Amino acid sequence: MHRNVEWRESRAILGGLRSWLRENLKKHGVCIRVLGNLTLLPVDIQELIAQAVLATQSYNKCFLNVCFAYTSRHEITSAVREMALGVEEGLLKPSDLSESLLGWCLYSSGSPDPDLLIRTSGEVRLSDFLLWQTSHSCLVFQPVLWPEYSFWNLCQAILQYQVNHPALQKAKLLHEAACRHQQVEADRACVLEQLGTVGETGGTECKQELILKYSREREERGTRSGQLRQQGQMPFENNQMVCL
């Protein structure tokens, strides 16, 4: 009898907590996304995760990304496999493969890369966590354990981010400019190869128009494949793993 009373009380507490979370997630517009290989989890846990993701998918004020059954190496491997499948299915061309496209195939696609990553407990390593996304993030390693993390520890981390922000931002902008230049050169090489194959020649303006057209078509292919991926219509591995 005593156990039954405790069980009913526990269920009541959990029900109240669930209601409180649901109300506050809606109030603050929090969209929950669970990133990782969810197929490794029991089916009942997958169903609970799906319910939480679907219930908050229309919220857009802020995003809560939860990495569960996650490793960065597996994420990058899955993204590469996804692009390869896109080429195999004829939705992408081999020349479409790029750093930016790989970024859109990651679990975290649609969310900005983190500005600040804090690692507690004195460990000075990332432990296979967000290796791609933190290439231009401020990494702060602190000896304090997570349960003891305080407001002042957070202030210290933010201060370190502010000190390093100019250099990080400059490196990020230079990298983005280099990626854009590489993409333009890749598009140019593809257009020139096509012209050489069919034996066509043209002036500079004609070639520039063809390059712009090819760039638009490439972007459209990437957008279309991304939409199909979100709708679950592409036979890509991430459809079974990423947020719904």
Report CA 157 to chain centroid distance, whole Å.
23
How would DSSP label each residue in 150-177? -HHHHHHHHHHHHHHHHHHHHHHHHHHH
Q: Examine the pLDDT at 211 and tell me if it is beyond 70.
A: yes
Max mean pLDDT among 82-96, 136-150, 224-238 falls in: 136-150
Both ends of the chain: CA-CA distance in Å?
42
What is the tens place of the pLDDT at every residue in 91-134?
888 888 889 889 989 998 888 899 999 999 999 999 999 999 99
pLDDT band at 219; cut points 50, 70, 90: confident
CB 76 within 8 A of CB 106: yes
The pLDDT > 70 percentage for the chain reads 80
Report the greatest alpha carbon distance in the chain. Answer: 89
DSSP code, position 109: T
Q: What is the mean pLDDT of the chain?
A: 82
pLDDT confidence of residue 17: 60
The domain spans of the chain are: 1-70, 71-244
Which residues make Cβ contacts (< 8 Å) with residue 27, sequence separation at least 6?
Answer: none
pTM for the whole thing? 0.77
